[in-house]
Structure formats: structure tokens, C-alpha cells
Structure 1
Amino acid sequence: MIPLPLARIAEITSGALSGMADPRAVVRGPVVIDSREAAPGSLFVAYTGARVDGHDFAAQALRAGAVAVLASRPVEGPAIIVPDATAALAELATAQAAALTAATVIGVTGSAGKTTTKDLLARLTARIGPTIAPAGNHNNEIGHPLTVLKADAATRYLVLELSARTIGNIADLARIAPPRIGVVLNVGTAHIGVFGGKEAIAKAKGELVEALPGDGVAVLNADDPLVRAMASRTSARVTLFGRGEDAAIRAEEITVDERGRAAFTLRTPSGAAPVRLRLYGAHAVDNALAAAAAGYELGLPVATIAEELSQAEPRSRWRMEVTDRPDGVTIVNDAYNANPDSMRAAFEALGTLGRGRRRFAVIAALRELGEDSQALNTEVGRLAATSGLAGLVVAGSDAAPVLEGAHEEARRLAAAGGPPGAGGPPLITHVPDAQAAAAELGRWLRPGDVVLVKGPRAMGLERTAELLLGGAAQ
């Protein structure tokens, strides 16, 4: 953070100093919303949530060295009182971003792959200058400004992930830190129930390219028609990435190894170089291409881009984490979140990684699918049952449509004959929660098996993976 006295922060946020706050006291960062992360020179933002009220932890943050608390009501100690903490945080981040005159802001959005692409791109920009990027997927009205506030005068690149739950969300985030490069990955079915259709999702994602200046760059997926059409919504230069020949940045000669890791030739207007990803799943190629296209626009040589992409390991947890147990059982923890598109990609990766092995999966009903929820979840069940599994565990109280689809396909496969996992139906069971899923699989697994754990974030299936790996439930 660029250091600011409390008086200036109060001015930016239209707040009032309280609790004998010294207007000359300087906040040097970080800005935090968790009192356990407060440190000398920090600013603690007190949020009132559904279960926790940050104001109750103000004293703890001040004892840890916070200069003051940004609060919506008085607390015991130095504070800046504002009407709305979220709006105040956005105003503070907007002012800080405006002061980062030497930094290039890069925004990444899409229905799937945002976090992985952001992680890859941050690795590329770090080769050419100090870079700030969000931890995990801090991509909403709270995480986004907190990430911006981590930047200081030395920052040269801000790689930001922008998410949307309604029309206007991305536009609001883009106003905080106006992007010069905007990367749009895809328009899928994540949150389709909230938006009401893919066209509305495309409208929301396209707010990123609309925010670009005329001398900016829109990096668009040539293989997704709804993304490609966004070129008409910006006056910025457009660079296309993809797998087809008309993409300026494209992947050629794609292969996938026995562990599900892709290799390809990265082709650019100025040359080509080989890439061998350490990320799992063929869908990682698209994320790598998006990052490569943005890196190319920043002037990185194709050989450097290929080198960095080939060395990149997964940074954000619970996204295609592949771990081998001592007994040879492989756990694929892709439990951070799920939608119909990412579910298909995960089962495709399982098919490659589990070739010649007994395969199992733990899944749960997808959420935020609106009026299509039952049909889409039934399709998820069908997908799972036809993926060559020996066994399928479906978790959660809302699993009926998934089970319906899975059992329907299992009956069809049973009529066709064949043992489970070899053309026949999988064993199918329903459990209430993540812990029960781990217990059930513990009875099924034997050395050499592979398990996919995949479901919506709210189901907490990462606990299943942790338990299968010998850890304690979090």
C-alpha cells in the first residue's frame, strides 16, 4: 500500500475520525478484514457479516498494531467511521489505483479458469516487473479492492481476477482499477440460474472489454463464439487466442500424457516454442494460451512464455490437485467449485489419468442453475455413470436429480453387460456429507485406484480429499 495518513483516508472515504485517532498517524499496510492478519501499520476493516461482526474484533486488531479501524460504528480505539465499509474500501482502493501511475492493470474474467489463468499470468509478469495478484480467487467487491491495496509505488503489474454475480459487478470492479489489458476466457454455465442464460452471462463478462481504453488490449477466446463477439464492444486492439488457425496465439500439436498433463507447440506471430504443462487436464491448455496471449502483448519473448508456462505448478488449492498416496491410490482434489462445464472437464481428465485403473468419483449436486437445475444435475449423474467408474458416491441432501441420472444410465449399462468400470454400471451410493463420502470410499479403495473429488464449494468436498489422504477434517 502507498502510505497514507488517517486524515487522508478519512477524506477519501468520506469518513470521520473517532476514538482519539491521530490524523497524522500513517497507515502503511496491509489493509485486512481478518483481525488475525493485523500487523503494525495496518488498517483493519470491520465488516458485519451473517455470522461474525468485525467490530467485535477491533480491539484485537489494534493490539496487533493496526493504526485504526475502518468501521460503520464507533469502537474502543482509533477509528474512521463510514456509512458503508464495502463502499469505503472501494473508494480507498480506487484512490490508490489512481496513484499507481507506473503500473499496468490486467483483468481476467470468464465462467471457468479465472484463477488458474491469473496465477499463470502473474508468473509471466513477474519476469518483467514487481507484480501483485490476488491470493486464491479474491475477485469480488471485497477481495478485489483488498488486492489493489497491496500494491505500492514499486508495483509494475496488477493481475486481477474479476467475477460477476449480477450485471454491473465487473463494471464496478473495473472502475476501481481500470484495466489496460482485459482477458475473457469463456462463457459457460456457472451461475446460469442467477443470470438467466448464457447471453446474460456474456453481457456481464463483456463489461471487462467495455472498460478498456482505446490504446488497451482485449485478449479474447477465439474458440468461444460469445467471447469472440465481444470484439465489437471495445475500441481496444483485439488479440485472439485458441486452438484454431485464425487465433494469433494458438496451440498446435496438442498431446496429453498418462497423468493428464498437456504438451503443445505455442504459436505466435513472431515464432513458436514447445510447452509441457505441469497442470492437470487438457482444459489447462486454454488457460495457458490466455496467459500467453497477455504476456505476448506485454512484450515477453515466446521462449520465455513457454519456459514459464512449462515450469508453473498449481498455486491455488483444491483445483485439480493430484496426490499419490503411499499405497498407490491417486486422489484428484478438484473440489473448489463446480459447474456443468468444469464437471465435464474433470471427468475427461479422470479418464486420462485413470486409464487402466479402477476409477471412483465423489460428486454433489450443482447449484445456482435456476430453472434448469434438475435437468442439468440429471445430466451430471448420467455423465458420471458413463465415465467408466467402478464406483460413484453422491453427497448431499439435494442429490436426487444426480442420482436419478446416474441410476438411469446404470440400468442401461447393466442391460448391455460388463463389469463395473469396464463398460458396465458403477456401484452407486448416496451419503449425507463429505465425511461420510470419505468413509464409504475407504471401504472400496485398494492400491492403484484413482478418485476424483468434485462438487460445489458449499458442499465442502475438499474435506473428503483431505480425509482420504490421511488428514483431519477442516
Structure 2
Amino acid sequence: MIALTLAEIAAITDGDLRLVDPDISETTVSGVVDTDSRNMTPGGVFIAKPGAETDGHRFVAAAVTGGASVAVVEHIVDAQVSQVVVKDAVTALADLARAVVARVRAEGQLKIVGITGSNGKTTTKNLLARILEDEGETISPINSYNNEVGAPVTMLRVTDSTRYLVSEFGAAGPGSIAHLAGLVEPDIAIVLMVGMAHAGGFGGIEETARAKAELIAASRPGGTAVLNIDDSRVAAMRDAATAHDMHIVGFGQDGSADVRASDVQVAADGTRAVITTADATLPLHLKVLGAHHITNALAAIAAAGVLGVPLADAIARIETVQVAERWRMQPLGNDRVRIINDAYNASPDSMAAALRTLAQITGPDERTVAVLGAMSELGESAGEEHDRIGLLAVRLNIRRIVVVGPEARRLYLSVVGEGSWDSEAVHLPDQDAAYEYLRTELRDGDRVLVKSSNSVGLRHLGDRLGELFS
């Protein structure tokens, strides 16, 4: 974080400053800002956020031990540290992020990119950050820090020397993207896709589309909207971008895209395509598995182009990326039994893409094995969407389908109903049962996909299988 005095922090957050020493109000701090006491470093600012399972106020002393110079609290805590007492710690965190980014931006160097979409945000963020880090200091979220806490914490990592801030915005509900993006008003707004992920929480896919479009309205007028024109709902955001006085850069495989991909080929060593812009046409070999990640690469290349990065440089840099992120199409295992751990999250779109990738990278003498758990947050569409994935798995001729957990039983019944029987499909109660089954079932030549929503936890099963066959 940039250097701020304790008095400035209190003023920004509309808080009541309680000092351990009356003479230190003008003392500056410039350390990490976080809600996790374990992340504190000397000069840090600890945000004591109340939570459903625990309360950050209980960890103020631990934060001080870690080096925190000040704690932002909702009530005074018995600890030897200066405290800023605020009405709401999360609101104070957001206010602090808004003020810090505004100060850095006023210096004229900082450019801000905002990313949203039902799938692909984290991969796109990582690819774009890899491109931009060779241009100048780049701040981007750790893991998927894209909510009301993670996004501001990422924003507060900017310093006076930061050239690019890449922010990822998830949608907890209507208005959440507008709020988070509004803290920084991105210069570039990337909208990847509108899918069924979290649709249950919005009341349907059209409401989801409206939520994603909030990023356009919250961006800077005169900025650039980078839109996936292969997705009709995203392409329809052109009107909102134009009304907001934004330039438009379209990406996709459609021939009208400003940044487009053709000749997409998926193999076990990654995904290849030909990338075309107004200035050049070049081949891309993306190490990340799956044709769907070409869309994410196009978005990153398009945004980088807006920022002046030539296509050749952008491609050369993202070709060095080996894995999108842990638990996202992460290759594990060995040449005999290959594991693809893609169980950080799952939506109908990402589940279908992962299954297609499994089929595409498996040779004629190899066997496809899909280990599948439930997709969460689909609301009334959950049953229908699990049926659709079961049907797709059978039609892709996935040879072994292992369904894990009671929440995914509908998927298993769909698989059986479509004609998989005689041990081609099994339903197991939990991860441990699945591990014991797979430990003896898997054999040389198997290509194994592990896929579920984060809440199901199959990513840990994927790790165990990867270690078993390492």
C-alpha cells in the first residue's frame, strides 16, 4: 500500500482514531492490508472483519505479533495497537481501496483492467498479468480474490510505482460488480461470457447477464470494452458500452472479431490456434489444456493490445504459462496415468468444456475416466443441468464415469438412463470411497478428469490421485 498516516486512514474510513501513543497520529504505514492476521507484515493494516464462522476481532493480537501497526475494528479490542473504530469493517476496507487507487491513479501512470464473466476470470487474469508484468509493475489477485474482501485487498497492493492493476470481479448478487468495479472505475472492461454459473442466485441467466453488464456501467467513460462476441449476451453489451462512450474491441472465433482465433486444435500438450488482429497473424501454443482457454487467451491478448503490447510479445509471454492456476485444468500424475484436476469450480459450461477436452486429448488406445461431483448454485435449473452433463458424458463415450456424493446422484441417474451400465458408471458416497475405488480401478493408459464445484471438494481427491500416480 502507499504510505498513509494513521490520521489519514481514520479520515478515509470515517473512523474514530484511538492511539496507543498520542504523538503518533502522523506516523505513516505502508504495509499489507488484509483481513487475515497470518498475512500481516511490519507496518501492516489489519481489518478486523466479523464473519459467519469467526470474528476478526479475536485475531487483533495475532496481527500485532505479525507486525500490524494499526487495526481497523468495529469495537475497541484489548490489544497494544492503535485502532480505527468504524461502523463496518468491510465498508472501511472498500473506502480505503477507493482512496488509495485514486491517489496512485492521479499520478497519471496507473491503468486498470476489470474482468468479469461466468467462467474464465482467473485464467484470463493470470494470462493478462503475465503479459503486462514485462511492461511494468503489475498487481493482480492472488487465487480468486474477486469478492467484497478479496477485490479491495488486491487493490490495496498498488504502490506509487504500479503501472497496471488487473482486478477480477465475481458477482455475489445484483449490484455487487457495480460496487466493486465502482471502487476503481476500470479503463478496460473485459466481459468473458454469460453462463449458468451462480444463475440460481440471480433468478436466471438473463439476470446474470445484467449483473455482468454492471462492469460496463462502472468503467471509465472513454475507456474500452473488450467483449466476447461469440457469446450473444456479451455481444449485446455493445449498446451499453457505446452509450457509456466506450470503445469496443471484440474477440472470439467469429470472423468479425477484432482479435480472433482460428484452426483451434486440442492435444495433450496444450491447445494451438492461429491468432489474427488488424496488424498481424501468428500461431499460439497455449500450454493450458482446453479449447475454452483460447477464449481467455484472446481476451488477454485483446486487452494487452489496447494497452499497446504487440501481438508477438503477448503470445510469446502467455506461451510461458504452464498452468492456469492450481486446480484448474492442472495436469498431474505421470505418462501412464494422467490426472487433470479441474475441481476448483464447476458450472454447466465449464463442466462440458472439461469433458470435451478429456475426449479430445485421449488417444485411441487410452481410456477416458471422468470423476464428477455436483455443480452448485444452479437453483431451479440444477436437475436439468446435471441431466445435460450426464447425457454429454455418455455421448462423448467417456469409458468410466465415477460420480461422487449424494448431491450428484441426479447426474449418475442421467448417465445410467442414457445407457451406461455394467460398471461403466458408478456412484460413490464420498471422496474416500472414490479414492479407494480409483486406486484399484485406474490402469496404464487412463486419462482422468476430476471436476466438481469448489464446495464438493473433489480438488483434494484430484491431488491425492496425482500423488498416487506421480
The one of 77, 87, 93 equivalent to 2:91 is: 87
Q: Is 1:241–2:251 an aligned residue pair?
A: yes
CA distance in 1, matches of 2:139, 2:407: 39
**CA offset at residue 255 of structure 1?**
2.3
**CA offset at residue 19 of structure 1?**
5.6
TM-score, L = length of structure 2: 0.94
Q: Which residue of 1 aligns with 2:9?
A: 9
Read off the aligned partner of 2:450 and give its amino acid letter.
Answer: V
Q: Which residue of 1 aligns with 2:208?
A: 201
Q: Which residue of 1 aligns with 2:44?
A: 42
Q: Which residue of 1 aligns with 2:466?
A: 469
Read off the aligned partner of 1:383 and give its amino acid letter.
Answer: L
Deviates more, 1:304-313 or 1:196-205: 304-313
**CA offset at residue 432 of structure 1?**
2.2
Q: Residues 148-159 of structure 1 correspond to what in structure 2 (within 5 A)? A: 148-159=155-166
Q: Which residue of 2 aligns with 1:273?
A: 282
CA distance in 2, matches of 1:367, 1:65: 39
Deviates more, 1:45-54 or 1:146-155: 45-54
Check the 8 A contact 1:26/1:67 in 2, yes or no.
no
Structure 1: runs of 5 or more not aligned: 415-424
Read off the aligned partner of 1:338 and give its amino acid letter.
Answer: A
Of all paired residues, the percent bearing the same amino acid is: 40
Q: Which residue of 2 aligns with 1:367?
A: 376
Deviations 1:307-360 (A, max 9, x none): 11222222421000012337x110100000001000000001100122221121
Deviates more, 1:331-340 or 1:432-441: 432-441
Q: Which residue of 1 aligns with 2:74?
A: 72
CA distance in 2, matches of 1:385, 1:435: 25
Q: Residues 256-267 of structure 1 correspond to what in structure 2 (within 5 A)? A: 256-257=266-267, 259=268, 261-267=270-276
Q: Which residue of 1 aligns with 2:321?
A: 312
Q: Which residue of 2 aligns with 1:422?
A: none
Check the 8 A contact 1:332/1:452 in 2, yes or no.
yes
CA RMSD of aligned residues (A): 1.6
Q: Is 1:26–2:35 an aligned residue pair?
A: no
CA distance in 2, matches of 1:430, 1:73: 50
**CA offset at residue 366 of structure 1?**
1.2
**CA offset at residue 302 of structure 1?**
1.5
Structure 2: runs of 5 or more not aligned: none
Q: Is 1:251–2:254 an aligned residue pair?
A: no
Check the 8 A contact 1:434/1:459 in 2, yes or no.
no
TM-score, L = length of structure 1: 0.93
Check the 8 A contact 2:266/2:357 in 1, yes or no.
no
Check the 8 A contact 2:288/2:324 in 1, yes or no.
no
CA distance in 2, matches of 1:404, 1:260: 34
Deviates more, 1:131-140 or 1:399-408: 399-408
Deviations 1:248-277 (A, max 9, x none): 1111222223x0622122111111221111
CA distance in 1, matches of 2:19, 2:228: 52
CA distance in 2, matches of 1:236, 1:426: 55
CA distance in 2, matches of 1:77, 1:15: 18
Check the 8 A contact 1:118/1:133 in 2, yes or no.
yes
Q: Which residue of 1 aligns with 2:357?
A: 349
Q: Residues 211-250 of structure 1 correspond to what in structure 2 (within 5 A)? A: 211-234=218-241, 235-250=245-260
Give the count of matched residue pairs. 458
Check the 8 A contact 2:182/2:219 in 1, yes or no.
no
Deviates more, 1:186-195 or 1:75-84: 75-84
Deviations 1:52-91 (A, max 9, x none): 2221111111012110111112112221111111000000
Q: Which residue of 1 aligns with 2:443?
A: 446
